[in-house]
Structure 1
């Protein structure tokens, strides 16, 4: 009887938690499944569908029983999805590409972020938007945007900037998936060079895979590998941002309260990557983890969409659009120039 009582005592918080968070979690899960259904049947990017459907249900985040669960999805569930991306990473990926290509990718990420800061200053935009857009463009699109947003100091425009960035990189990735194969053909790139170009320039993983395999299996495999190297850089970049911005005050945060030096989801990302590198993650578990990551990110972006008014997103301005387009063009030019220098062209 005492064991039963102890078990009951330990889980007595569960009904209250389900009552508080359950409705919002169920709503975000249902909308995420709808987004995936639309993606599977009509070919639209799942992230884009999740974002647009989330915005359509913005009213649910304003008041009512769903508010707490939507907030939980937009923060914790989202970060779980980013952390589980570590299961894709291993040291073998780095070895397979060669030091020259890896150096090119690392240089492209650093240069794109610096370019974004400089361009934002010229356009009169803030450094938060610059880091968010340039990091998303340079690394892995929507996933990077959500990870970077989690460590940037918050202000009144944080959610608006995140939703704008996710929407923009998803649309630009889709356009690149259509247009870059034509560009690669006009440049006379072979299959390996085409894969390096796609993997080094297209923002989101799904569009990289789509563009690569639309050309050839070799181009698709190379593009996926190169893209995953860029994903590897997510944790170091987020860590650098976290350390550099740790003392910047945030609106709505208690005075003297600092964010952790190393965010928990970054620690989890690195631990999973290290575990995967030494072969301790079975293939079935890795596959399950990636599915969980995909659904967590979908639910998270649904929740972010629900929390943001479309009117506020449209208020971001044409100069912000110019900024993220300029960063995309800069990354493409940098990668092509680097490929020429390395002899891939």
Structure 2
């Protein structure tokens, strides 16, 4: 047990060690050039953690590992629960049925497509395929973090998924404003999108919340309705992470039992309770019982806890474990990227016109 009398000191030292790294990542994320790139503390944290894992890992006391693991597992789940304070059910209702359907279709299709492509077509390990797909389908690094405990996968697999999310999410952040100003805004017929439609498209297809916020801000003279639609649709995708994880737990249990056969012991159902608590927190937040400044403070604390979890995951990522993967993660992530950009455009246009 990490907090048993003989392990307590080492566990606390490991947690403090991770927190120091996370504080450094938070500071770096606020610096001008890095902030302009839209890199969140979570991304910087995992990069710092990976650097540590492959350089200084053997220089720190072994008993600290309990605290690092606690940060990557337990603190992570608590942080995902607190993530519910970023969402209200009223915001989801405000986006309308078209925005909701775009979110649902893009999340489901991207998760299924990415998992299948990675595992079946490109020969990637199943957990890594699902993690990479979840990051593209829902909300980037935070979705990878939330999915990892359900799969109970190794840290380096989450690091691979996060690296793909960062790469293609960053490309999206620069690509979408160019697409809008050079093609979509000035086009006629099917290619044209109103500001609200483009906002739904952005929110339904771009990886990270920060990147979704950055895109409308990068469009010259973009109306407020574009940014509002983009953020609300994105947050609709975020809250869908809870039912996605519950269904994933059911699927994993069913698959394990099916593969095991009738003669073997049944695999117990995995219910990610932190996802259920996440919905409960979002419901509580929808009641607006807490002052805005308190909610803002909670979200800042939550971002730091997520950064700690991401940093800890990075600390378990040894490059030697990547051998044999080749370019499969890139092929999988790039295929999902094409689907999000092209397929997402078609889905958005069709849904908006039908609804």
TM over 0.5: yes
2:75 counterpart SS class = helix
Out of 265, 268, 276, the position equivalent to 1:267 is: 276
Q: Work out whether residues 250 and 270 of structure 2, in 8 Å CA contact, stay in contact via their aligned partners in 1.
A: yes
Instruction: Give the 3-state SS of the residue equivalent to 2:344 in structure 1.
Output: helix
1:193 aligns with 2:194: no
Q: Is the 8 A contact 2:131 2:148 kept in 1?
A: yes
The answer to whether structure 1 residue 57 and structure 2 residue 52 are counterparts is yes
* Alpha carbons 1:153, 1:249 under 8 Å: kept: no
Q: In 2 relative to 1, CA 52–212 (structure 1 residues): closer, same or farther, beyond 3 Å?
A: same
Match of 2:19 among 12, 18, 29: 29
Give yes or no for the alignment of 1:240 onto 2:247.
Answer: yes
Matches within 5 A, 1:13-24: 18-24=8-14
Aligned to 1:108: 106
2:197·2:352 contact (CA, 8 Å) conserved in 1? no
* 2:314 is the counterpart of 1:305: yes
22-31 or 298-307, which deviates more: 22-31
Counterpart contact for 1:213–1:221, Cα < 8 Å: no
Per the TM alignment, residue 235 of structure 1 is displaced from its structure 2 partner at its CA by 0.3
Q: Which runs of 5+ in 2 are unaligned?
A: 186-192, 258-263
Alignment-derived partner of residue 6 in structure 1 = none
- Residues 258/24 of structure 1: CA separation in 2 closer, same or farther (3 Å cut): farther
Aligned to 1:4: none
Task: Give the Cα separation in 2 of the matches to 1:167 and 1:238.
Answer: 21
- Secondary structure, aligned partner of 2:63: coil
Which residue number corresponds to residue 87 of structure 2? Answer: 89
> Where in structure 2 are the equivalents of 1:334-345 lying within 5 Å?
334-343=343-352
**1:137 shift after superposition:** 0.4
Residue 123 in structure 1 maps to residue 118 in structure 2: no
Match in the other structure for 1:8: none
CA contact (8 A) 2:115 2:126 kept: yes
Distance 2:240 2:69 in 1: 27
On the 8 A contact 1:194/1:212 being kept in 2, the answer is: no
Distance 1:279 1:300, change over 3 A: same
Q: For structure 1, list consecutive stretches of 5 or more residues without a partner in the other structure.
A: 1-12
Tell me the CA shift for residue 269 of structure 1: 0.3
Structure 1 residue aligned with 2:337, among 314, 328, 331?
328
Q: Which moved more, 1:257-266 or 1:34-43?
A: 257-266
Shift of the 275–257 alpha-carbon distance from structure 1 to 2, 3 Å rule, reads farther
Classify 1:313/1:36 alpha carbon distance in 2 versus 1 (closer, same or farther; 3 Å).
farther
- Per the alignment, in what secondary structure is the counterpart of residue 65 of structure 1? helix
Superposed CA RMSD in Å reads: 2.6
Q: 1:18 to 1:221 in 2, by over 3 A?
A: farther
The DSSP-based 3-state class of the residue aligned with 2:253 is coil
